[in-house]
Structures are given as C-alpha cells and as structure tokens.
Amino acid sequence: MVSTPADLHDKHDEHEHHGPAKGIGRWLFTTNHKDIGTMYLIFSLVMFFIGGAMALVIRSELAQPGLQFVHPEFFNSMTTMHALIMVFGAVMPAFVGLANWMIPMQIGAPDMALPRMNNWSFWILPVAFGILLSTLFMPGGAPASGWTMYPPLVLQTGDAFPFLIFSVHLMGISSIMGAINIIVTIINMRTPEMTLIRMPMFVWTWLITAYLLIAVMPVLAGAVTMLLTDQFFGTSFFLAAGGGDPVMFQHIFWFFGHPEVYIMILPAFGVVSEIIPTFSRKPLFGHDSMVYAAASIAFLSFIVWAHHMFTVGMPLSGQMFFMFATMLIAVPTGVKVFNWVGTMWRGAMTFETPMLFSLAFVFLFTIGGFSGLMLAIAPADIQYHDSYFVVAHFHYVLVPGSIFALMAAAYYWLPKWTGHMYNEKIGKLHFWTSTIFVNLTFFPMHFLGLAGMPRRIPDYSTQFADFNYIASIGAFGFGLSQLIFVYVLLTVKKGEKATDAVWDNPKGLEWTVPSPAPYHTFDEPVHVDRTVAFPQNNP
C-alpha cells in the first residue's frame, strides 16, 4: 500500500515543467505540496491501521466478561495508545495531507507558501510516532494513563514517561508548523480574483482550524512540559504536597482539548461542504453563513472546556456557565446541518461513494452531536461521566464523523490525484460495510454507558456481556472493511481514465487542471470563469 501512490506522478515527466526527482530522495527532500500531501495521507493510513489494531485488542478483551487475552496494565496501554495514535497520528495528519494537496489547487496557488518547512513538518511525524510506539517495548510498558495524561496517575508511567512527553512535543511542533504554513498560503497566495469570502468551504474551515491549532497546541506543549518538570526537576505544578493542584492540569489540558476536537471536525465540515453540492448539482446553500458558523464554533470552543470535568467539584455558577456555553454550540452546528440539507433540497442527487460517505456523515455525526448535548447537561453528566456513553459519543463524532469525511474526501479527489476512477462497486461495498459495522460497534455503547458500564476497564459485570459481544463483532467487521479501502487504492490505476472534471460539472479550481494533476499547477495566476471558481457567489 505504501508503494502505490509513490508512482502516481511518474507519467508527468513529459510535462513542460521538470518532474519529480528519482528514488527515495524525492520523498525525503521534496518540497512539492502534492508529494508531501501524499506522504501525509499514507502516513495517516498506516497509523489508522496501527491504532485500529490496538482497538481490536481492546474489543477482543471486552468481547466477554473476565480477563481473556491481555493483562489489565497492557489493556490500559492499549486504550491510551489507541487514542494518541488515532488523534495525533491518523485524523490530524490526514486532514493536513488533504490541506497540502487541495488548498493550493483550490485557491490557484503554485505550492504551499513555505515549502521547506512543509517537508520538515511532515518528517517530524514518523520520528514522533516512532518514539511513541517504541514505548511499547520499554520497562514499565507504554503509557497507560489515558490520552488525557492526568497527573498524578501519568507520573507513575515507567521509563516511557519522558518519551511520551517528547513525542507529544514533536507532534505539536509538526502541527504548529503545518498550521502556520496553511495560514500563510491562504492569506498570501490566493489567485487575485479570490477574495476571502469567495474561498471554497474546505479552505475556509482549514483557515479557522489552523488558527485553532496555533492557539492551543502550544498550551498542550506547556502542560506536558509542566508534567516533565514535576517528574524530573522538582517543580510542583500538579503535586498537592508541594502546593500544586492536579485539577489545574485538567483545566489546562481541556483548554487545549476542546478546541482540539474542533480541529478534528472543522476540516471534515469543509470536505462535506465540497462534496454535497457536487452530487446535488447545486451550489452550497448559505456559503457565507457556513463561514460564520465555523468561526462561531471555533470561538465557542475556547469557553466550554470545563464540560469535560463537571465532576471535579465546581461552583454551581461555573457548571451553569459551561453547560449553557456548550449547548450554544448546537446553534452554529445546526446551521451547518440545515445548510447541507438545504443544499440537497430539490437537487438532482446521485449517490456515488463520496456522496454516500458524506450523507452518512451528516446523519451519524448529528447523532454524535445529540449525545454531546446530553453530556452537556451538567446534572446528567454526573451520571454519564467516564461511562461508555462518553465512548459512544466521541466515537460517533470521530469515526462516522471525521473518518467518514476523510474517506469521502479520498474517493472524491482520488481520480484527480491518480488520473483513474476507482472501482465504484467496491467503493460502495466499502461504504455499506463500514456504515453497518460502525453502528454495530458504537450504538450498543450508548446503552452500556446508560446502564452504568465505566470506560477504560478490561473487565465488567456480566449484565453488560451481550452488548459488548455485539460491539466486538462490529469492531472486527469495521476493521476488516477498511481493508477494502486498501484494495481500492491498490487497484485504482487499473480503473478507467478520469476526465479533467471527473464528476458531473463540479465547481472549484481543482477541477480545471488535468487529471491526474500535473506535478506543478497554477505557476501563473489564473483568470477563471467565475461561475466555476466561485459558484456560491454566482447563483
């Protein structure tokens, strides 16, 4: 699977521009946004399978009550590593990869603004995750305190502790450099006719996401640095004996952590806002209101963090504030969902694989949003906190949310990247198996959580056995379904040649360049047909 996209561009050597370098050096030293985007996407796919394998260890152990396969300590490592790898290794780099590929092509720029930094921000990632994965083989085991790294528990991590901290630092540096690059590209390198408000939604959501990254990744870096100095340099930021407060870590962490969840979903909103108009054959309904909604969500994400920690003990006024602020997010999110439905309204809809994934995104993400509203109710959250209901909630927004949007994006732009159509039948098979099994996996977890099953435990009371067994079957089905996607990627070059437009009259600059996209695009600023580039402003 690694080798396939590596030769995506081999056919362009005859193009008027110089082509890519030969051999491994092309990938090590490349400053080409398409090469770097490809590397990001492949890296995140590899991480998706590693994190997925860990999820299957978890589901194997939980298929039946009692301890079957792994020690509880290793189980805890699996939940921790699964989360860290999926969040920082799969979802975030995948969206950065899409940004690298698509943002320059959507705004008519020849490349990213800071191409050498772009290379660096990618190549930090394999190092960071090499360090993180190496902790599996260290004395004391891999980190097992949950991805939230709460002290004092995380300070009991064995030799892996400093490696955990440094790998988080490196992931943060990579994300920050990627975000700076994206902002500078969008602000400085748009083709002259593209004003900010005319930008496609994917570019808009990424601009907002990049600002979120710059605002909160340094705060996470600060928090884990404090953990490091508490452990090794005698400080007491979070140690009560020395005058610190472990609850403060939770505040600082979630000040990062809540914007982080929007970092993982806003680009998904952007992707879906590109795809639904194409297959509804209508411009995006309410483009400008989508921009304002995304910006409102980003702003609100900074003032709701304590809804992750209603149970730590908080004044009533604090609980009320965070509860209502959290519920307020449903308003701009509702604007988005209704706009997607409005885009489809009376559209000439067809249901190719990218559209299917996008429709499932709208429906299933909304379920995750509703369970989020339930969790936002402070008095009810006392019951739901740390239960499988929370697990069900955030997997609904992340798997049929972010991951489905990524799959939709991959199918949507794959013909543009490779010059070939993927196998539509196999794509639809991938969609239907994924959708059925994702619900089989995560829907029963709602019931488990409401019935009182706690999260992050390797064993449970026997009354939870049936739903857990169903969830485990679903998890293996979902994991195997993703191998279909690998098959699609491996066989895409055998598909028929894609036209330049690929789909039925799609809008946007990326569809005006040949398929596959040449190694260099938009070397000169383009003057384009406005109805193609800015359909939302030309109804």
Partner 1 sequence: MEQKPKSNLALTGSLVLLVFAMFGFGFALVPLYDVFCEITGFGGRTNTTAAVVEEAPDTERTVRIEFVTTLNQHAPWTFGADVASMEVHPGKMYFATFTAKNLTDGIKVAQAVPSVAPISASDHFKKIECFCFENQEFLAGESRAMPLQFIVDPDLPDYVDTITLQYTFFDTLRVSASD
| Of the candidate residues 133, 184, 450, 486, the single one contacting partner 1 (CB under 8 A) | 184
Q: Are 257 and 340 in contact (CB under 8 A)?
A: no
Q: Which is nearer to partner 1, 181 or 326 (CB)?
A: 181
* Token pair belonging to 338: 């209704």
Q: Any contact of residue 180 with partner 1 (CB under 8 A)? A: yes
Q: Any contact of residue 137 with partner 1 (CB under 8 A)? A: no
Q: Which is nearer to partner 1, 247 or 513 (CB)?
A: 247
CA distance 220 to 226: 10
Q: Any contact of residue 323 with partner 1 (CB under 8 A)? A: no
33, 34, 59, 307: the catalytic one is 307
CA distance 529 to 539: 13
User: In the complex, what is the shortest distance from the CB of residue 243 to partner 1, in angstroms, rounded to a whole number?
Assistant: 8
Instruction: Give whole-number Cα distances, 85 to 165, 480, 534, in Å.
Output: 14, 19, 37
Active site residue 455: yes
40, 101, 206, 262: the catalytic one is 262
Q: Which is nearer to partner 1, 479 or 525 (CB)?
A: 525
Q: Which is nearer to partner 1, 92 or 284 (CB)?
A: 92
Active site residue 435: no
| Of the candidate residues 28, 197, 240, 320, the single one contacting partner 1 (CB under 8 A) | 240
User: In the complex, what is the shortest distance from the CB of residue 189 to partner 1, in angstroms, rounded to a whole number?
Assistant: 8
| Of the candidate residues 247, 330, 349, 486, the single one contacting partner 1 (CB under 8 A) | 247
Q: Which is nearer to partner 1, 187 or 490 (CB)?
A: 187
Kindly provide the b/e burial profile for residues 9-18, where b requires at least 16 CB atoms within 10 angstroms of the residue's own CB: beebeeeeee
User: In the complex, what is the shortest distance from the CB of residue 316 to partner 1, in angstroms, rounded to a whole number?
Assistant: 9
User: In the complex, what is the shortest distance from the CB of residue 9 to partner 1, in angstroms, rounded to a whole number?
Assistant: 26
Instruction: Give whole-number Cα distances, 229 to 193, 239, 257, 390, in Å.
Output: 51, 11, 21, 31
Contact letters for partner 1, residues 505-524 (x by CB under 8 A): --------------------
Q: Any contact of residue 154 with partner 1 (CB under 8 A)? A: no
Q: How many residues bind partner 1 (CB under 8 A)?
A: 42
Active site residue 174: yes
Q: Any contact of residue 248 with partner 1 (CB under 8 A)? A: yes
Instruction: Give whole-number Cα distances, 386 to 97, 264, 379, 392, 457, in Å.
Output: 33, 21, 14, 11, 11
Q: Which is nearer to partner 1, 50 or 215 (CB)?
A: 215
Collapsing DSSP to helix, strand or coil, 351 comes out as coil
Furthest CA-CA distance within the chain: 69
Q: Any contact of residue 153 with partner 1 (CB under 8 A)? A: no
Q: Which is nearer to partner 1, 114 or 375 (CB)?
A: 114
| Of the candidate residues 525, 526, 528, 537, the single one contacting partner 1 (CB under 8 A) | 525
Q: Are 420 and 493 in contact (CB under 8 A)?
A: yes
CA distance 102 to 522: 12
| Of the candidate residues 237, 279, 384, 467, the single one contacting partner 1 (CB under 8 A) | 237
287, 336, 385, 420: the catalytic one is 336
Residue type present at position 284? L
Active site residue 273: yes
Q: Any contact of residue 242 with partner 1 (CB under 8 A)? A: yes
Q: Is residue 429 within a helix (H) or strand (E), and if so which, with residue range?
A: helix 424-450
| Of the candidate residues 74, 245, 281, 473, the single one contacting partner 1 (CB under 8 A) | 245
35, 61, 111, 352: the catalytic one is 111
Residue type present at position 235? T
User: In the complex, what is the shortest distance from the CB of residue 433 to partner 1, in angstroms, rounded to a whole number?
Assistant: 42
Q: Which range binds partner 1 by CB under 8 A, 140-148, 287-295, 313-321, 368-376?
A: 313-321
Residue type present at position 465? A
Q: Which range binds partner 1 by CB under 8 A, 17-25, 233-241, 275-283, 331-339?
A: 233-241
Q: Which is nearer to partner 1, 254 or 340 (CB)?
A: 254
Instruction: Give whole-number Cα distances, 378 to 29, 392, 453, in Å.
Output: 51, 18, 19
CB-hemisphere CA count at 13 Å for 480? 10
- Cβ within 8 Å of residue 239, ≥6 positions away: 151, 152, 230, 246
Q: Is residue 92 within a helix (H) or strand (E), and if so which, with residue range?
A: helix 92-107
What is the 8-class DSSP label of residue 398? Answer: I
Active site residue 159: no
CA distance 211 to 263: 9
Q: Any contact of residue 526 with partner 1 (CB under 8 A)? A: no
Gap between the terminal Cα atoms of the chain: 42
Q: What is the CA radius of gyration of the chain?
A: 23
CB-hemisphere CA count at 13 Å for 53? 6
Active site residue 496: no
Among left, alpha and beta (phi > 0; psi -120 to 50; other), residue 456 is left
Which residue is associated with the tokens 């505040």?
251
Active site residue 206: no
Q: Which is nearer to partner 1, 244 or 495 (CB)?
A: 244
| Of the candidate residues 6, 21, 127, 215, the single one contacting partner 1 (CB under 8 A) | 215
Which residues would be at the binding site for partner 1 (CB under 8 A)?
113-114, 152, 176, 180, 183-184, 187-188, 192-193, 214-223, 226, 233-234, 236-237, 239-243, 245, 247-248, 251-252, 255, 313-315, 318, 525
Q: Catalytic residue positions?
A: 82, 111, 147, 174-175, 258, 260, 262, 273, 307-308, 333, 336, 455
